[in-house]
Amino acid sequence: MQSKALFLDRDGVINEDLGYVHRAEQCVFVDGIFELVRSANAAGYIVAVVTNQAGIARGLYTDAQFHDFMRWMQGQFALNGASLDHVYYCPHHPQAGKGVLRQTCICRKPEPGMLKHACVELNLDMKASILVGDKESDIEAARRAGVGRTFLIGENDAVSLGTVQQAL
C-alpha cells in the first residue's frame, strides 16, 4: 500500500527565510508549523522537507553544517510533539555554485527530482500527497512530480498554514 506525504519547503515555510539559515541561533520558526506537522503526523502523512540549498553551492556553509542544522531542527519538532520524517535537498546552483556544485541538475526545484526520489524511496501515492511552498518553483516541481494538491503561502497570499492544516 502506498503512503501519502506532506512535502514542505524549508525556508519560508518551516522557518522564516532570513537568508541562508544554517545555525540554530538564526532559526525563527513560522507560526503554526508545529501544529501543521502534528496534524499531518496524526492524519498518517509522511512529512518530508524538500529544499534547495544554494548556500552549500555558494560555499556559505558545508554539507555537514546543513545536516547538523537539520538534525537540530528535527529535534525541535520532536520537542513539540511533531515529526519531520525525511529531508531531501539540492546542494547545486547552475550559476553561483562552486566546483562540482555548479551545475544544472534534476533535483533543484522547479525540477521534480527530489519529489520523484521521495516517491520511489517512500512508496508514495503522489496524487494523495500535498506540497506547501512559498515560491512558484516549489509549486512547479510538485506539478511536474504529480503531487495532488499544492499550497503557495507567504505574505501576499491568502493561504496560511492553518488553511493547509484544515485540508489534511
Which residues are known catalytic residues?
9, 11
DSSP of 98-132: -GGGBS--SSSTTS-HHHHHHHHHHTB-GGG-EEE
Nine-digit cell at 144?
Answer: 511536474
Secondary structure E strands in 10-160 = 45-52, 86-90, 130-133, 149-152
User: Distances in Å between the alpha carbon of 167 and those of 48, 66, 143?
Assistant: 17, 31, 18
* H or E, element range at 8: strand 4-8
CA distance 66 to 73: 10
Nine-digit cell at 15?
Answer: 522557518
Nine-digit cell at 46?
Answer: 509522511
CB 112 within 8 A of CB 144: yes
